[in-house]
Amino acid sequence: MKLLLVLLKPHRILAFALCYTLTCFVCLSLYYDGTYKADTSHQVAVRLTNPSPAPPATPRPPGEVHRNVSREILQLQDTAEELQRQVERQTAERPHPKKIDWREVVKRDMFKEKKKLLSSNDYRHFANNKSLSYHCKRCAIVSSSGQLLGRGAGPEIDSNECVIRMNDAPTRGFEHDVGTKTSVRVIGHRNLGRVFANQNDLQDRMFSNRSTEKVFVHWSYLTDIDADKVEEYALVLKLMEKYPKVDFVMFTPQKMKFAEKLFHHETELTRRQARTWLSTGWYTMLLAMDVCDEINVYGMVSEDYCKEHPNEKVPYHYYDPSSKPECTYYHTSEVRLTSGHLFITEKAVFARWSSIYNIHFHYPYWEPRPYSVSDTLRTPFLLRYHIANNRLFAKYPFWKLYFHFAGIFYPLVH
């Protein structure tokens, strides 16, 4: 009796009720696949042609019933035929957009023969707003991953004609693993302000004595760049004065828009829908494909690597052993629907591009799966995104956002 009184305390009953309600929501989310769409005119016409049985009415004479039923059927058939004609008329009047295979567009426009003069619509000098001449036969993209530690890849990296690094990844102290040469450094404008502003020692290490030949600045999530409003623009102008031998180049607004359009047509989601910022790696790969005939990528894992090595503790940055493990960071970013980089999704896209272009992956070495135009990406983020939009919580976006942000039922749906 005492145990029963303890269990039936009001706060325990309330807690049990809340847990039960939450469990019901989760189960419905997992197993209910219904969509919430209004009926189309065709569905209305079909329903009118095949109406649901009406409730029984009071008995009437057989002749009158027959006449009424015949009249109603004729009226319903006329209505259905009229609706069908309207649908056909609207369909005929609506222009049929030509279906575009965007991967073929990419193959034709991006993977074309490289030219030394890059388009001013894509890249411009900060100094004079003009296009630049730049071309390399063999390029190395050096990731900032801890995968490069202990590999001894430095001499191989330096053997490439051009070496492309990202953000503030150093070479000093890591020459054996990452090499010494830096032809290009691609930097996001937010990193430029957060990392390089007021850091004179770091600036000297990166830019003095032509330790970096060119700096390409991308604008992360901006597609309209106002030089008067973007603080980092003024910082670039100061760095240009301080290091006149370094060539500072910008990704143009047109190139930023193209990068987002490319993401859209590879994932079928806009950047805003995915709530992501395209990573510096994304813009670095676009630049390399514009500049290089052959691309060797060092230290970039495949999209399935972390799934195959769940317990690996390689640091996210080779120059910061205290940084969180690479796979942990990738997983955290990939399963969050609210913000962050989609590293695994981007790697899946890179693998797709590599199958139609001259891109090779080293340390770790991996071969991309064969490319097919009909392939659709099935990364953790995209699967999770579609689950969220096809389940019950799609009807209640606030709850969907809360549960995904909290990650309560992620293990249940994967």
pLDDT digits (tens, 9 = 90+) for 337-354: 666 788 999 999 999 888
The pLDDT, as a whole number, for residue 199 is: 84
Ordered DSSP codes for 68-128: HHHHHHHHHHHHHHHHHHHHHHHHHHS--PPP--HHHHHHHHTSS---SB--TTTEEETTT
The pLDDT, as a whole number, for residue 37 is: 40
Give the mean pLDDT of 135-149: 96
Check residues 307 and 95 and name the one with the higher pLDDT.
307
Q: Measured between alpha carbons, how far is 26 from 391 in angstroms, rounded to an integer?
A: 10
For residue 146, pLDDT over 90 is answered with yes
Q: How confident is the model at residue 410 (pLDDT cuts 50, 70, 90)?
A: very low
Segment among 88-97, 191-200, 381-390 with least mean pLDDT: 88-97
- The CA distances from residue 323 to 101, 213, 271, 311, 326, in Å, are 40, 28, 27, 16, 8
The pLDDT, as a whole number, for residue 291 is: 93
The pLDDT, as a whole number, for residue 73 is: 60
Q: Are 185 and 214 in contact (CB under 8 A)?
A: yes
| Nearest residue to 166 via CA among 186, 180, 183 | 186
Q: Measured between alpha carbons, how far is 323 from 4 in angstroms, rounded to an integer?
A: 51
Buried b (16+ CB within 10 A) or exposed e, 122-139: bbbbbeeeebbebebeeb
Ordered DSSP codes for 342-409: -HHHHHHHHHHHHTTTTEEEETTTBPPPPP-TT-----HHHHHHHHHHHSGGGG-HHHHHHHHHHTTT
Q: How confident is the model at residue 97 (pLDDT cuts 50, 70, 90)?
A: very low
The pLDDT, as a whole number, for residue 334 is: 83
Give the mean pLDDT of 140-156: 97
Q: What percent of the chain has pLDDT over 90?
A: 34
Q: One-letter amino acid identity for 238?
A: K
| Nearest residue to 330 via CA among 277, 380, 267, 272 | 380
The pLDDT, as a whole number, for residue 133 is: 86
Check residues 13 and 405 and name the one with the higher pLDDT.
13
CA torsion 215→221→223→227, rounded to 10°?
-60
For residue 138, pLDDT over 90 is answered with yes
Check residues 68 and 125 and name the one with the higher pLDDT.
125
Give the mean pLDDT of 54-81: 56
Check residues 268 and 187 and name the one with the higher pLDDT.
187
3-state secondary structure of 215: strand
Q: How confident is the model at residue 190 (pLDDT cuts 50, 70, 90)?
A: confident
Q: Where are the beta strands (DSSP E) in 226-306?
A: 247-251, 292-298
CA angle 414, 282, 325 (to 5 degrees): 50
Q: One-letter amino acid identity for 136?
A: C
Structure tokens at 3: 């145990």
For residue 414, pLDDT over 90 is answered with no
Q: Measured between alpha carbons, how far is 335 from 323 in angstroms, rounded to an integer?
A: 20
For residue 8, pLDDT over 50 is answered with yes
Q: At what angle do helices 10-31 and 397-406 cross, to 10 degrees?
A: 100
| Nearest residue to 352 via CA among 102, 98, 100, 99 | 102
Which of 175-179, 205-209, 227-231, 270-274 has the highest average model confidence (pLDDT)?
175-179
Give kind and range of the element (H or E) at residue 301. Answer: none
The pLDDT, as a whole number, for residue 356 is: 79
For residue 297, pLDDT over 70 is answered with yes
For residue 50, pLDDT over 90 is answered with no
The pLDDT, as a whole number, for residue 45 is: 43
| Nearest residue to 35 via CA among 376, 395, 322, 342 | 395
For residue 43, pLDDT over 50 is answered with no
Check residues 177 and 104 and name the one with the higher pLDDT.
177
